[in-house]
Structures are given as structure tokens and as C-alpha cells.
Amino acid sequence: MFVLMKSSFVKSLVLSLFAAIFMACGGGDSIPDTPLQTFKTYTKAIKQKDIATMKLLLSRETLKMHELEAQAQGISVDEVVKRETLFVESQKTVRLRNEKIDGDSATLEVENSYGSWETVPFTKEDGVWKIDKKGFAQRLMDEAEKSNQALDNMFNNNTLQPQPQ
């Protein structure tokens, strides 16, 4: 019972601290409670060059990934966060569609500067929706691996035939 009460207290404390930091960083009146609201708040933070709020909206795994990247390149994590924004700063409008929530995971489709739709994953951490760029990177790697596997299968099964000239 004490452990359960302690866990609830810690969770409440973390959420309260997050809300206080979020509002102090110009995040608005409340914590975003949907992936769509998180992404809109993230977009606003990018436009305001509010790195602190951007970092608050990224998953722990994403921040770890950015820390490793910063170490490898000899730059600050803030520099990595600033340049890895999911869209270009000059993009005037960001269109969003198809928010899908499944438990503590979610996705949202975002139109990039080329007019293509990309799926951005989210994860819920301590009751707050966070952008999961690590999940985005993992999805791209998985898709590349699947394509490579398909090509390997075609080569191994001799289904690729040279075109007559």
C-alpha cells in the first residue's frame, strides 16, 4: 500500500514539475493531452526557437539518441534538437492528419516540405504524450531493411531478369 501511494505521489510530483517547467518555458496554459496538441505545441516552440520546450516534448529515448549524436559530433544536445525538427523552418504551413492512438503509442501524419506525408510516432511517458523521433528513425531503418530483404529475395530466386537491349 505504501509503495502504491509513494508511486502515485512521485507520478503527481513529476507531472506537476513538468507542468511548471512547461508553462515557464512559454508552453501555454496546459500540458498537451493528445499527440496532435503535442505536435502543435512542438511546432510553436520551433518557430519561437524555444529549445527547452522542444526537449520537454521529446521522448526519453529520443533525447538519449540526440545525446549520442551530439557526443559523436562534438556539439551540444540543444544544437541537435534545433536542427532535427521533422520539418524545415521555412515551411509556412504544417498540415496534419490521421491521429491514431493505441494505448501508450500513437501516430500522426505530417505533411513535409515536399508535399509527402510522413508518419510521426508518439509515446506516452508519465501521462504525457511525447514525440518519439527514435521510433521514427527505427521505422525508417526497418523499412530500408525490408526493402533490402525483398531485393535479396529477388536476386536469390532469380526473379530479376536482365532487360534485352
| Domain containing residue 79: CATH number | 3.10.450
Q: In degrees rounded to 5, what are phi and psi of residue 128?
A: -120, 135
- Give the sign of the dihedral formed by CA 132, CA 136, CA 108, CA 95: positive
What pLDDT shows up at residue 159? 64
The answer to the question of residue 161 being in a domain is no
Backbone angles phi, psi at 59, to 5 degrees: -65, 160
**Model pLDDT for residues 44-63, shown as the tens digit of each residue:** 998 899 999 999 999 999 99
DSSP 95: -
- Tell me which DSSP letter residue 58 carries: B
Task: Tell me if 23 is assigned to some domain.
Answer: no
Task: Please give the average pLDDT of every successive group of 10 residues along the chain, which has 165 residues.
Answer: 43 38 46 91 91 94 94 94 78 86 94 87 94 71 69 70 62
Q: Give the integer Cα–Cα distance in Å for 20 and 163.
A: 65
- Cα dihedral sign, 63-147-101-103: negative
Beta strands 117-125 and 105-111, pairing class: antiparallel
H-run or E-run covering 107: strand 105-111
Evaluate if pTM is beyond 0.85. Answer: no
Domain coverage including residue 55 = 29-156
Residue 77 host element (H or E): helix 77-83
Q: How many domains does the chain have?
A: 1
Is there a domain that residue 104 lies in?
Answer: yes
Residue 63 lies in a domain: yes
Q: What is the pLDDT of residue 72?
A: 94
Q: Considering the domain boundaries, does residue 138 fall inside one?
A: yes
